[in-house]
């Protein structure tokens, strides 16, 4: 839900500290992988070297909380995005000075933890959008929201837990389901990672979204945005891939989503480079 009050879920108003808005969205390459039974180790090997991407985007869109004068940000947030024709796959890599994972249950306020998020909207079903929010130990919040200018929290509802249990697959570098309070990391620590496999049938079950046949059509496009937040951390932070174009930034803004173009077949000779990265700028213009 990140942050509820300003940038999607959190504790205060945010001020964007970003560079020029990107244009054109991103291309999501297609890979060969059994997203139902395939092992995550196999998927990670494939992502590490054999699945290509035609473009790479490196962006910075930070929104500072006014609730504290101390500014602590993730050092680097990256997400690789691919699809199989039947599922969307995201692999997140996060370097941050403090990590928190208190929530363990589905539909819990994971945006208070170190949280990565994906929001998606389709013109075929323009009245709704999906938000997927995940913390480092695999706790998840998945909602369907209203794509209306006057949308409020009460117009978003969580998907039934049985749909998430049945369809969503997550692998994290932290032990799944084992909570921990805010913990400092060092430069010697490895980044934490999270890989999520979201079958397209989950969208169809929830709102009649697209079949995999549609997604195999050349140039099939949805719109979306990717986020990182930590509302409950001592120093909250909010990061988006594409800029949030409002006076009071809010993650739940489909009008700030950008095109996500599904490639119909894997290009044949390039290593995978479809990495969307958020990196802290040298200077901040936050107030």
Q: Please report the domains of the chain, with CATH numbers, ordered by start residue.
A: 14-18+46-279 (2.60.40.1190)
Instruction: Give CA–CA dist 256/144, Å, rounded.
Output: 17
Residue-by-residue pLDDT tens, the chain, 287 positions:
554 433 333 333 333 333 333 456 888 888 889 999 999 999 998 888 754 443 444 445 766 665 555 566 777 888 989 899 889 999 998 989 999 999 999 999 999 999 999 999 887 777 788 999 999 999 999 998 877 655 454 478 898 999 999 999 999 999 999 999 999 998 777 899 999 999 988 887 776 565 555 655 667 888 999 999 999 998 888 888 888 876 666 788 888 899 998 887 665 544 434 444 443 332 222 32
For the full predicted model, state whether its pTM sits above 0.85. no
Instruction: Give CA–CA dist 205/45, Å, rounded.
Output: 30
Residue 183: φ, ψ to 5°? -130, 135
What pLDDT is recorded for position 201? 85
Provide the β-strand partners of residue 120: 130, 224
The alpha carbon dihedral of 13, 19, 21, 27 has a sign of negative
Instruction: Give CA–CA dist 146/238, Å, rounded.
Output: 22
DSSP state of 77: E
What pLDDT is recorded for position 72? 67
Tokens of 138: 């695999």
Instruction: Give CA–CA dist 240/143, Å, rounded.
Output: 19
Instruction: Give CA–CA dist 84/139, Å, rounded.
Output: 24
Tokens of 21: 């808005």
Instruction: Give CA–CA dist 209/200, Å, rounded.
Output: 8
Tokens of 268: 């044949």
Are 135 and 113 spatial neighbours (Cβ–Cβ below 8 Å)?
yes
Q: Which residues fall within 8 angstroms of residue 68, CB to CB, at 6 or more apart?
A: 234, 235, 236
What pLDDT is recorded for position 15? 35
Instruction: Give CA–CA dist 282/279, Å, rounded.
Output: 9
What pLDDT is recorded for position 256? 84
3-state secondary structure of 218: coil
């Amino acid at each position: 839900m990140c942050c509820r009050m300003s940038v999607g879920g959190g504790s205060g108003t945010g001020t964007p500290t970003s560079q020029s808005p990107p244009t054109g969205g991103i291309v999501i390459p297609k890979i060969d992988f059994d997203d139902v039974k395939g092992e995550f180790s196999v998927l990670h090997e494939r992502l590490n070297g054999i699945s290509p991407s035609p473009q790479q985007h490196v962006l910075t869109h930070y929104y500072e909380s006014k609730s504290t004068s101390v500014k602590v940000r993730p050092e680097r947030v990256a997400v690789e995005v691919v699809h199989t024709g039947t599922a969307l796959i995201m692999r997140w890599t996060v370097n941050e000075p403090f990590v928190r994972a208190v929530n363990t249950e589905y539909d819990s306020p994971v945006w208070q933890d170190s949280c990565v998020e994906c929001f998606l909207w389709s013109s075929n079903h323009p009245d709704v959008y999906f938000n997927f929010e995940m913390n480092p130990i695999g706790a998840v919040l998945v909602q369907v929201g209203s794509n209306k200018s006057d949308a409020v929290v009460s117009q978003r509802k969580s998907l039934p837990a049985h749909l998430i249990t049945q369809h969503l697959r997550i692998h994290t570098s932290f032990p799944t389901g084992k909570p921990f309070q805010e913990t400092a990391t060092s430069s010697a620590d490895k980044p934490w990672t999270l890989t999520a496999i979201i079958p397209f049938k989950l969208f169809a079950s929830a709102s009649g979204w697209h079949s995999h046949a549609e997604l195999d059509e050349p140039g099939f496009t949805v719109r979306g945005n990717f986020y990182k937040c930590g509302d409950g951390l001592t120093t909250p932070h909010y990061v988006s891939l594409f800029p949030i174009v409002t006076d009071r930034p809010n993650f739940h803004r489909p009008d700030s989503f950008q095109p996500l173009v599904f490639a119909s077949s894997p290009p044949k000779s390039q290593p995978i480079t479809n990495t969307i990265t958020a990196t802290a700028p040298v200077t901040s213009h936050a107030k």
